[in-house]
Amino acid sequence: MPKPTLYTFAKSSWSASARIARIELDLCDVIEERQLDFLKAENMSPEYIRMTPNATIPALSTYTHVYRDTTEVIDYMASVSGVKAAPRTRLTAVVHHSSIDAKFMAFAARNEKELAAKAALGPPLLALTSRLPRIRVYAASPQAAPFSEKYATKIADVEQLLAIYTFSAPAAVMSNFYATSQAVHDAARVFLYETLPGAIGSGPFVAGAVPGVDDFHTATWVVHAGFLSGGQRTDDIISALERRYGEKLSEKLTRFLRAWMMRESFKKTYVGGLIW
Ligand SMILES: N[C@@H](CCC(=O)N[C@@H](CS)C(=O)NCC(=O)O)C(=O)O
């Protein structure tokens, strides 16, 4: 039996959680990593959808079972690791909740000015323009037939985001997008300033002196939020978040981030830069 395979993309924020966990849980020799090219929409290939119908990364296949999202993947890793990591609490579900959806945050913009600035940045628009033609090619292949609904929904979603990013969507769609972005921004603020610091006890990690499962999920969400706030490197994250949210981060969250920045797993995962 081949080794279990972890499917990731180096620039994906949730993949970062699984990649950090793989290192922290000492599973690098036990679990292979296979990188997909997200910009080529490889997560939308019919083979990948057949394996994991969510078509998201990370996913992990043991060849007898497929773990289909970050929570399942990391729970599996913790269950097979000899390293003790405190199990997840409700916090993991909170950080994955749609109200602070990391993927939506990558595109979110609260008004015309923010949208124009984000569109000029490159990455969000590039992700849409580079992926759409690839998704269409996959959708037209005979192997895609069983998943036609999945492709139709995905293509419609990407087309709508492209219309928003080129200011050509109907006014009602634009205002709904701005309103959702504002709501996500507000919810993210609550998570950063109340929920996460409130979950950290003596620290520096949620689980205490060493990271637990909640820590693998929350650290990467904060890094992602920091990057989307204008941080360029991991050590910029704190100041970028403070600029965007207009308030100093709590002592607990600052210690949490600084403790993460010292860890080899964190350094290795973000060696290629931050992740949107
Ligand atoms: N709920 C999923 C979310 C994972 C997710 O959204 N991953 C992104 C990359 S960070 C993805 O695969 N997106 C697929 C797409 O947009 O086509 C999880 O926890 O694993």
75 is in which domain, residue-wise?
Answer: 5-85
- Give the bridge partners for 6, in sequence order: 33, 60
Residue 275: pLDDT band by 50, 70, 90 thresholds?
A: low
Q: Is 111 a domain residue?
A: no
Nearest alpha carbon to residue 221 among 191, 245, 246, 193: 191
pLDDT over 90, % of the chain: 93
Q: Is 182 a domain residue?
A: no
Residue 264 has pLDDT above 80, yes or no: yes
Q: Which residue has the higher pLDDT, 237 or 233?
A: 237
At residue 123, the pLDDT reads 82
Q: What tens digit of pLDDT does each residue of 209-224 get?
A: 999 999 999 999 999 9
Residue 273: pLDDT band by 50, 70, 90 thresholds?
A: confident
Residue 2 has pLDDT above 70, yes or no: yes
The DSSP-derived string for 171-231 is: HHHHHHHHHHHHHHHHHHHHIIIIIHHHH-SSSSBTTBSS--HHHHHHHHHHHHHHHHTT-
Q: What tens digit of pLDDT does each residue of 89-117 get?
A: 999 999 999 999 999 999 999 999 999 99
Query: Is any ligand 1 atom within 6 A of the Cβ of residue 24?
Result: no
- Segment 187-196 shows an average pLDDT of 98
Q: Is 72 a domain residue?
A: yes
Reduced to 3 states (helix: H, G, I; strand: E, B; else coil), residue 8 is: strand
Tally the domains of the chain.
1
pLDDT over 70, % of the chain: 99
Query: Is any ligand 1 atom within 6 A of the Cβ of residue 56?
Result: yes
Q: Is 66 a domain residue?
A: yes
Q: What tens digit of pLDDT does each residue of 6-40 get?
A: 999 988 999 999 999 999 999 999 999 999 999 99
User: pTM value?
Assistant: 0.96
Nearest alpha carbon to residue 231 among 215, 249, 217: 249
Q: Is 126 a domain residue?
A: no
At residue 92, the pLDDT reads 98
At residue 209, the pLDDT reads 98
Mean pLDDT lowest for which of 77-81, 124-128, 167-171? 124-128
Residue 68 has pLDDT above 80, yes or no: yes
Q: Is 43 a domain residue?
A: yes
Q: Are 105 and 184 in contact (CB under 8 A)?
A: yes
CA of 42 to the centre of ligand 1 (A): 13
Per DSSP bridges, beta strands 32-35 and 59-61 are unpaired
Q: Is 14 a domain residue?
A: yes
Nearest alpha carbon to residue 276 among 71, 99, 109, 127: 127
Mean residue pLDDT across the chain? 96
Q: What tens digit of pLDDT does each residue of 129-169 get?
A: 999 999 999 999 999 999 999 999 999 999 999 999 999 99
Query: Is any ligand 1 atom within 6 A of the Cβ of residue 96?
Result: yes
Mutate to test the pocket of ligand 1, among 40, 51, 56, 147 (most ligand atoms within 8 A of CB): 56
Q: Is 142 a domain residue?
A: no
CA of 15 to the centre of ligand 1 (A): 8
Residue 59 has pLDDT above 80, yes or no: yes
- CATH number, domain with residue 67: 3.40.30.10
- Segment 52-64 shows an average pLDDT of 97
Nearest alpha carbon to residue 143 among 44, 55, 38: 44
